[in-house]
Amino acid sequence: MQQTKYIVFPICDSNHWTSAIFTNFNSLIVKLNLLFKNGEFVRDDLLKSYVFNKDNPELNELFSNDGDDQQKPMLVYLDSLSINSRDVVNHMIIVLICQFLIHEQGMTKKNSELLFKKLKNKDSKLLSLLKNLFKIEYPLLPNQKDDYNCGVFLIAYLEVFMYNPDKFIRFLVRYY
């Protein structure tokens, strides 16, 4: 996969438009490739280690979000109602990971559906582990004052992002 600095996801959930911007996706791909081989999760040992012992050096390296902010994988969720919808973000992360495994590692559709169901379980340790591969930000943004202008706000956010993506993301993360 070529270098991908940003991936922008417009999201419509129950007639409300939001967006998510994924930064440094290639860093996430490196991490996912350490956890999955041929579409199969190969590090069941990490589920126990991660949950019970975060002092493991291998885990610290894999799950660390310390260091250079410019290189970290990060998801920035933009919502003009500031709902911080964790369910929407979780669903998007699950779909993104399943699509990555299908297209990059050859996971079968059947296995992808099984993984999707496993990750959708609210008690999924695997989803908790995967979400710690990157930072998630819910920045404070200008909010709509009604219940119908979410699309206008979404376009405005993304227009500002497109003028200078690096500066926009740095501002949001620093501001938050």
Q: Phi/psi class of residue 165: alpha, beta or left (left: φ > 0; alpha: ψ in -120 to 50)?
A: alpha
Q: What is the mean pLDDT of residues 158-164?
A: 95
**What's the average model confidence in pLDDT over 122-137?**
85
Angle at 85 between CA 79 and CA 137, to 5 degrees: 65
The CA-based dihedral angle spanning residues 153, 155, 157, 159, taken in that order and rounded to the nearest 10 degrees: -150
Give the CA distances from residue 164 to residues 11, 151, 169, in Å, rounded to whole numbers and listed in that order. 22, 21, 9
- Going by pLDDT thresholds of 50, 70 and 90, the confidence category of residue 29 is confident
CA distance 42 to 33: 10
Residue type at position 141? L
Query: For the ranges 2-11, 51-60, 103-112, 141-150, which has the lowest average pLDDT?
Result: 51-60
CA–CA dist 97, 104 (Å, integer): 10
Enumerate the domain spans of the chain.
Answer: 6-175
Under 8 Å between Cβ of 65 and 135: yes
The letter for the amino acid at 57 is: P
Among residues of the chain, what percentage have pLDDT more than 90? 26
Average pLDDT, the chain: 83
* Percent of the chain residues topping a pLDDT of 70: 82
This prediction has a pTM of 0.83
- Please write the tens of the pLDDT for every residue from 30-88: 888 888 888 888 877 777 665 545 566 666 666 665 555 556 789 999 999 987 688 88
